[in-house]
Structure 1
Amino acid sequence: MKLSRRELLATFLGAPFALAACRDMSAGARFPDGEIVGQNATLGHVLREGRSFEVPADNWRSAKAVIVGGGIAGLSAAWKLSKLNFNDYALLELEKEIGGTSRSGIGSPVNYPWGAHYLPVPFQENAELIELLDEMALTDGRAANGDVVIREQYLCREPEERVFYKGRWYEGLYLNAGASDEDKQQFGQFQQTIDRWIDWRDTSGKRAFVVPSHQCSQDSQVTDLDKISFAEWLRNLGFTSERLVWYCDYACRDDYGLRLEQTSAWAGLFYFCSRVRKSGDESQPFITVPEGNGRFVNYFSERVGDKILRSHMVVSIVPNEKGVDVVCLADNELRGFHCEKVIYASPMFTAPYVIRGFNNDAPFAANEFQHNAWFVANLFLNDRPKPRFAKDFPLAWDNVFYESPSLGYVNATHQKGIDYGPAVWTYYYPMCHEENGRTKLFNYDWRELADVCLTDVARAHPNIYELCDRVDIMRWGHAMISPRPNFIWSETRARAQKPYRNIHFAHTDLSGIALFEEAFYHGVRAAKELQTAQI
């Protein structure tokens, strides 16, 4: 059923705002060009058809290992295998472009992200990730205490964040302007509670929350937090301030694509605690470049590009006595690999559709790995909007709308210090585990989603239609794993990390949270497992 414009905007942005937007938009407003780019949803659905596949005899080749999936986990596994001199492998990627949600686009005046756009500076204990940063020449030695020092040009420049509320821009993400004494008191108490969790250690000295998450304590005081939602945790402690609740809800939408009441309390606290060394410290600064985490994807491609086979859709993985047979569809023909080991670096929910015999003796409940949908839009501007008020906080890297269900936009041009003229803004909208959200998202065409994006941005920048020449949109049907209550510390997640019939799983799903560091950890872990098995 075709929705009216008002119904469309009400679905995404809320009825009151939709009514005002439809009334305010002039009929003659210029609408930019653009298109839907990226993922081909129809390819993945081939897996659900349960076909049988016969590979011609001449289309088989042998390899010691095959990596299935070219996101950060798969690329990290390839990087590590090559460093271990384990070179007889191939990486098969469904799409034309590698990188998953860390991929980026090429444009002017800068390149831009299509998803993940930063990496917090890792603690010194995360040695292998720091090794990668050293290789990429992003570091500038070590501080006296051993912490890695990142070159200044790669650290997010100021101003970093601002929030738009009732017609004005304010500094930061927490809305201090107009806060009542009760708001301020609750925010202070919340920070004290977070500080206690930052400093908490179990009997073996482990932190409650740290990146990567496999280093987190499994003490029941910590794991029991996974049994309730973050919303319930806040209510239990008497945190009811509307501004504080919004702040925590934004955190959940930003990192997990979920609302406060949908998110595990463990995951909510992980967001605030895991990247702070000790109470009183600032959170670790962000490493970022215009193309976001596409910089890492491009580096991996440079290092292992000869092993990557794009547009190779794996349709069948068949464990056998000699190892594993992998069948893929490429250039409209079936091709196969006889290999000893497989690193399965694709979302866990796909495993039963690809791995033959999986459901006969399922090693884990793949349907427990639930994902949510997003859409991302890149807006190509011919100029920047002028500030509406002299005292408005200026354009920042991250620009958030307090009264919108979207996450606002990131200014891809920010890091280059280009503060005037053309720009690229990357707009993020999480579907927040909405019922049928994925189906709903793919039922809308480019014009409808572009209208949602531009209407939302116009709340702060009314002249966006004159400034925006183009809007390209990418729909992520399975953007990230959902850390809902009772999943993070479930038996399902633990079991999925164990090898199954010469298949080693490596994906950020296995951490229950979709972060670069988690994907990197699992890719490196799986690569080392293969190396160990070979010795």
Structure 2
Amino acid sequence: MELTRRELVAAFLGSAVAASACRKTAPREPVPGALVDRVVDTGHRLRAGPLPLAAEAQPVDVLVVGGGVAGLSAAWRLAAAGVKDVRVLELDAEAGGTSRSGKNAVSAYPWGAHYLPAPLVDAGPVMRLLREMDAVTGVDDQGQPTFDETLLVSEPEERIFYRGEWYEGLYLRAGASTEDLEQLRRFEARMNAFAAARDGRGRKAFAVPTALSSDDAEWTALDKLSFAHWLEAEGFRSPRLKWLVDYACRDDYGTTAEGVSAWAGIWYFAARQNGQGERSEGFLSWPEGNGRLVHQLLSALPPGQVEPGVLVHTVTPGPDGCRVDAVEAGTGRPRAWRARQVVLACPRFVAAHLVAPWRERRPEWLGAFQYGPWVVANLTLSEAPLSRGFPLSWDNVLYESRSLGYVVATHQRLRMDEQGPTVLTWYLPMAGLDMKAERQKVLSASYGDWEGLVMADLMPAHPGIASRARRLEVMRWGHAMVRPVPGFLWGPERLAAQESLGEQLHFAHSDLGGLALFEEANWFGVKAAERALKGLGRESPSWL
């Protein structure tokens, strides 16, 4: 049965948005645009049955399967070690995965991740990458790196829309009771204590990446219960605090506090700060978001090393390497490689379809990996949107919506007296606990549905925005983010999935870290590359 407009908006964005959006308004013309994702259709060919095999296999030292951040990080590490015979195969038309970006006449813009929290310590592969970008200006007296100020998000950073007015920050202080504010203060104090906590070996209880965190039971026991359960047990019941926590979980993990472990929830608030509530120097961002980091990784690779439009369907380990079979996504022509070392840089649910032995015997750990869908839309405007209250910020959040609101691609160059054209990047995590049902909702909605949803979400906060809208493009990510559900991050399945298969097949992806973040993908890409280097008999000091 076809949903009414109000039912559609309520199903995706909640009843408050539906009530606001469906008040009588003047008719408007739909915003022209399109659904721009295609990879979901190509990727489903893996389930369609046997694909053709090439008669001959091309020899290669290292084959990287997957051109997302993990795969590009592996190739980047191999290039730095002087390994020249490397190929990176990517299914999509361009590399980058969920850190991809786009561009039009107004601005570049992200198709997924749009910022990188400034690292707290001057170590690790992410800092090495930022130095290659000339983003690092030095190290302060406390040993913390400092960054190019033009890359740090400028003020105003954040605002929140509630009942007709925009307010500063992400916590709704307007109308907050004394008890609300006291619970916020107590919650922040607890998170600061978690951030300062160290184990007997000096490791942070909650660190970036997760691999550097303490594995002491005192902390890992928090992984066994949901963040929502922990909040209730600790007496954190303020609706405004619970909204803030749910927003944080939806932002980084794609679901609410009910669907993530307490360890993951605390990690969000504690891992990237110094124990005094300070989140390093802030956020590093570019108009294209983390697409800028993808471009840097690509710039370190020889021309032609990354080959897009290649659907790998079988990886067969052998005594002297792996045979990798694929077809060209456009023509269906079979291709094959004989690789001494393989880095399989794709999600676990894809890897299970590719690795030949796993088709016969499904890995026991596979069921522990769960992935939530997202939708990202880029709306080009002829002028910056009108609003009431606190001024347009980098991050603009709608309190009563299930969306995350939007970021402004042109924020770093906009000034108060400069209200020219801009691009708003709108995010909707499909946060329900039934991920299959959420995925079906995402993929069944038409462009017209998404156009109506995006505009219904934005019009109450921005009078006249429909007349300024010039084009809308929508990207659907069916398996966008691994979810750190209770028991997953410190369970045996995630650790087992990190192990190489023999001495030739190594794995990399953010899902191995349990959090769908750039730092995790980069870490596991470098780790897999260093295992491949060892397999090639090359000695190289670790970057980890």
Displacement after TM superposition at 1:365 (Å): 1.9
In structure 2, do the counterparts of structure 1 residues 20 and 146 end up closer, same or farther at CA, with 3 Å as the change threshold?
Answer: closer
2:400 matches 1:403: yes
Partner of 2:421: 422
Displacement after TM superposition at 1:462 (Å): 2.8
Which residue identity does 1:386 align to in structure 2?
L
How many Å separate the matches in 1 of 2:364 and 2:206? Answer: 25
1:395-424: CA deviations, max 9, x gaps?
000000000000000011101235411110
Q: What SS does the aligned partner of 1:73 have?
A: helix
The answer on whether the counterparts of 2:407 and 2:426 sit within 8 Å (CA) in structure 1 is yes
The answer on whether the counterparts of 2:46 and 2:353 sit within 8 Å (CA) in structure 1 is yes
Displacement after TM superposition at 1:339 (Å): 0.7
Partner of 1:6: 6
The answer on whether the counterparts of 1:290 and 1:416 sit within 8 Å (CA) in structure 2 is no
2:471 matches 1:470: yes
Q: Which runs of 5+ in 2 are unaligned?
A: 538-544
How many Å separate the matches in 1 of 2:181 and 2:339? Answer: 60
Partner of 1:308: 306
How many Å separate the matches in 2 of 1:249 and 1:38? Answer: 28
2:239 matches 1:242: yes
Partner of 1:479: 480
Displacement after TM superposition at 1:522 (Å): 0.4
The answer on whether the counterparts of 2:345 and 2:525 sit within 8 Å (CA) in structure 1 is yes
In structure 2, do the counterparts of structure 1 residues 258 and 283 end up closer, same or farther at CA, with 3 Å as the change threshold?
Answer: farther
Question: TM-score, length-normalised on structure 2?
Answer: 0.95
1:166-185 residue pairs with structure 2 within 5 A? 166-185=163-182
Which residue identity does 1:512 align to in structure 2?
G
Displacement after TM superposition at 1:434 (Å): 4.6
How many Å separate the matches in 1 of 2:378 and 2:483? Answer: 24
Partner of 1:55: 54
The answer on whether the counterparts of 2:103 and 2:109 sit within 8 Å (CA) in structure 1 is yes
1:103-138: CA deviations, max 9, x gaps?
000123220001101111112253322111111111
1:211-290 residue pairs with structure 2 within 5 A? 211-290=208-287
1:161-180: CA deviations, max 9, x gaps?
00011111111101111110
The answer on whether the counterparts of 1:364 and 1:495 sit within 8 Å (CA) in structure 2 is no
How many Å separate the matches in 2 of 1:387 and 1:395? Answer: 8
Displacement after TM superposition at 1:224 (Å): 0.6
The answer on whether the counterparts of 2:146 and 2:281 sit within 8 Å (CA) in structure 1 is no
Percent sequence identity over aligned pairs? 42
1:86-485 residue pairs with structure 2 within 5 A? 86-304=83-301, 305-330=303-328, 331-388=331-388, 392-418=389-415, 419-435=418-434, 436-485=437-486
1:468-498: CA deviations, max 9, x gaps?
1111000000111001101001111001111
Displacement after TM superposition at 1:16 (Å): 4.6
Which residue identity does 1:81 align to in structure 2?
L
Question: TM-score, length-normalised on structure 1?
Answer: 0.96
The answer on whether the counterparts of 2:120 and 2:144 sit within 8 Å (CA) in structure 1 is yes
In structure 2, do the counterparts of structure 1 residues 519 and 29 end up closer, same or farther at CA, with 3 Å as the change threshold?
Answer: same
The answer on whether the counterparts of 2:387 and 2:463 sit within 8 Å (CA) in structure 1 is no
How many Å separate the matches in 1 of 2:92 and 2:239? Answer: 42
1:343-391: CA deviations, max 9, x gaps?
0100111122111011445555223211000111000000122333xxx
1:5-42: CA deviations, max 9, x gaps?
1221121122353244223332x212210001134212
Q: What SS does the aligned partner of 1:474 have?
A: strand
How many Å separate the matches in 2 of 1:20 and 1:402? Answer: 13
2:510 matches 1:512: no
Partner of 2:542: none
In structure 2, do the counterparts of structure 1 residues 497 and 274 end up closer, same or farther at CA, with 3 Å as the change threshold?
Answer: same
Partner of 1:497: 498
1:284-303: CA deviations, max 9, x gaps?
41110111000011122222
Across the aligned residues of Structure 1 and Structure 2, the Cα RMSD in angstroms comes to: 1.4
1:204-255: CA deviations, max 9, x gaps?
1111111011010011111111111110010000000000000000000000
How many Å separate the matches in 2 of 1:186 and 1:462? Answer: 35
Which residue identity does 2:10 align to in structure 1?
A
How many Å separate the matches in 2 of 1:397 and 1:423? Answer: 12
How many Å separate the matches in 2 of 1:379 and 1:104? Answer: 14
Q: Which runs of 5+ in 1 are unaligned?
A: none
Q: What SS does the aligned partner of 1:414 have?
A: coil
1:11-26 residue pairs with structure 2 within 5 A? 11-26=11-26
1:266-321: CA deviations, max 9, x gaps?
11000000000232434541110111000011122222142100001101111122
Which residue identity does 1:387 align to in structure 2?
S
The answer on whether the counterparts of 2:192 and 2:274 sit within 8 Å (CA) in structure 1 is no
Q: What SS does the aligned partner of 2:412 have?
A: helix
How many Å separate the matches in 2 of 1:280 and 1:4? Answer: 46
Which residue identity does 1:270 align to in structure 2?
W
Runs of 4+ in 1 over 3 A off after TM superposition: 359-364
Partner of 2:44: 45
Q: What SS does the aligned partner of 2:22 have?
A: helix
